[in-house]
Amino acid sequence: MSRKSLCVIGLLSLCLGQPLWGQGSLPPANRWIPPDALICLEVSEPREILKLLADKELSEKIQQMPFYQKQAASKGFQEFLGMVRIVEATLGTDWRSALARLTGSGITIAVCPQDTVLLIVDAEDAGMLNQLHDFFLNIARTEAQKQNRSESLEPVQLDGIDTWSFDGKEAHAIISNRLILASRPEGLQAVLDRRNGTVTSCLERLEAYRQARRAAGADRAAMVYINLNVLKQVPALAGALDQSKNNPLAALLFSGITESLRASQWLALKLRIREHTLLLNALADGRTVDPAGPAAFSLPEETGQGALPICPVPRFIGGFSFYRDLHRFYAAKDDLFPERTSALIFFENMMGIFFSGRDLTDEVLGEIQPEIRLVVAEQQYDPAIGTPQVCYPAFAAVLRLREPEQFAEVMEEAWQKALGLINFTRGQQALPGLIIDRPEHHQTKFTVAYFSTTGIEDPSRLPERFNLRPALAMVGEFLILSSTEQLARDLIEALDAERQRPVRPMAQVHSLVEIDGGQLASILKANYQTFVRKNMVDEGKTQEQAEAAIDVLITLVGLIDRLRLEVGSRRGLARADLEVRLNLP
């Protein structure tokens, strides 16, 4: 059978999925799945997903994008569309209606040991399912005759069921309204053994799977069950979970997550759809962090503690908010990193210089509260200065201090020492240095450093260093460390507003991420040629290939209006909640 034909049947079969609770006498599909399945995808409301995927506004938006138009003009894409039209004519309906009737009662996809993948599709229209199978069977027989192997496409009886294989590797069967397809004949046999009762063990009876289903609840369009006990034995995953033991930055950012996964037997992903918004919840049965363990620095100690909401600023691209007790983190460094890296030792030595020999753990990090916020925003360049040839986004950290009046000057001194070191190093290389200024905004005096434009001939193509105009400011108990003066000013205004109307921590949330897809796409477009050149150099691609890759990236990012991810715990379970709002009218 040709690849194009397999592509079409794969599209029609795999677009949607979940186990059917059966039509007639068929049992739930999860009763036919082996209990040692590594991953099982179930979609209980395929029509909700189809409604979103086949949304007219979404289709029109995609068709207007440069990437789609380039692909639509290709020979392969036109052949694919031609095959789809033939299938529509054969089934007597359009592809959207066909997908709904072929998959409307659900699909289950299970990844099992020994490279076995199972696909169980429950159609609403059994007649259409058989009609589609006959269509592709005839195509496969025609092509097989050309290769003198037509006998391989005759059905084989297993347990009284006709089974087929189009390529000699996969095996499939149709029982009533249910299509069963396995990547290996042994996988299909395992399903039939459970159907006829020869084997009674199944995924449905596995206690970990039942716990995951109960945690996910019934209100879902789809669910993924992941057997972590088995997956954690995979060297690549085990290495990823353990890498924080040797990587201070990974430990700081991901400890709450990796600790939970290490202690969990299962992970459940639950998908819901609300209009043009996707809601994905991840739940695991392991506790987030051991309160007595070295990674407890990421665990809010009290019920009402947690990360703070992200600061809203103009041209917002993305933001991160963490609950991380830096004092407890660094105090536990000997337990977290028994073999400290040279980078960590260098960091300690540099901090000793900047903070005049103060103890890094108690006298520096001990002055910083656990609520840490990071903000990334697109820059709006001052026409009086000019625009860099390559435009970078601005970024800033907002730290909450325990004793702001005493520690503010310590931070100011350390910041100016860092600028002095930069200027000294650049001076040795005969490069321009930074000039320090003390402007005022919203009655807050802050420090900013900038590069002079003296001698610059073309202000429309400034060197990359003009993306930086580092600033330090104090607003109440909050310290701002920003890469640009503009973002510092915006944060001063945002924190002033917070002081008028204080924000509350998000209880038991230790990590928060927000991304604005439109602004991110804007910064990608602004640096389109730079990304294309980098892709050509790094990946060895032609310009056309590099442009296609960047177009895909911009297309995908542009489809997202807003993305929000919260990670923490709830009702004793580790939990992550992802909300993706699509960019549709």
The C-alpha atoms of residue 53 and residue 321 are separated, in whole angstroms, by 32
Distance in Å from the first CA to the final CA of the chain? 41
How confident is the model at residue 49, as a pLDDT?
86
pLDDT along the chain (585 residues), means of 10: 40 36 68 95 88 76 74 84 92 91 92 94 94 91 78 82 89 95 95 93 94 90 92 75 69 79 89 90 78 76 86 95 91 76 77 90 93 95 90 95 92 94 94 95 95 88 94 96 97 94 89 94 88 88 86 86 90 85 81
Residue of 111, 129, 121 whose CA lies nearest to 33? 111
How confident is the model at residue 14, as a pLDDT?
38
> b/e map of 69-87 (b: 16 or more CB within 10 Å)?
eebeeeeeeeebeebbeeb
DSSP notation for 113-168: TTTEEEEEEE-S-HHHHHHHHHHHHHHHHHHHHHTT-GGGGS-EEETTEEEE-SSS
How confident is the model at residue 289, as a pLDDT?
63
Quick check: 483 and 394 in contact, CB under 8 A?
yes
Report how far Cα 5 is from the mean position of its chain's Cα atoms: 32
527: three-class secondary structure by DSSP: coil
The C-alpha atoms of residue 324 and residue 316 are separated, in whole angstroms, by 23
Q: What is the pTM for the complete model shown?
A: 0.83
How confident is the model at residue 140, as a pLDDT?
87
Q: What is the gyration radius of the CA atoms in the chain, in angstroms?
A: 29
Phi/psi zone of residue 415: left (φ > 0), alpha (ψ -120 to 50 degrees), beta? alpha
Report how far Cα 2 is from the mean position of its chain's Cα atoms: 34
How confident is the model at residue 13, as a pLDDT?
41
Q: Which residues contact 107 (CB under 8 A, 6 or more apart)?
A: 13, 14, 16, 17, 18, 19, 41, 43, 46, 119, 120, 121, 122
- The DSSP code for 303 is T
The C-alpha atoms of residue 322 and residue 97 are separated, in whole angstroms, by 46
Burial (CB < 10 A; 0-12, 13-18, 19+), residue 293, is: middle
Quick check: 109 and 183 in contact, CB under 8 A?
no
The C-alpha atoms of residue 34 and residue 204 are separated, in whole angstroms, by 9
How confident is the model at residue 341, as a pLDDT?
64
The two structure tokens encoding residue 165: 């294989």
Residue 116 has φ and ψ, to the nearest 5°, of -105, 130
Look up tokens 């290389």; give the residue: 429
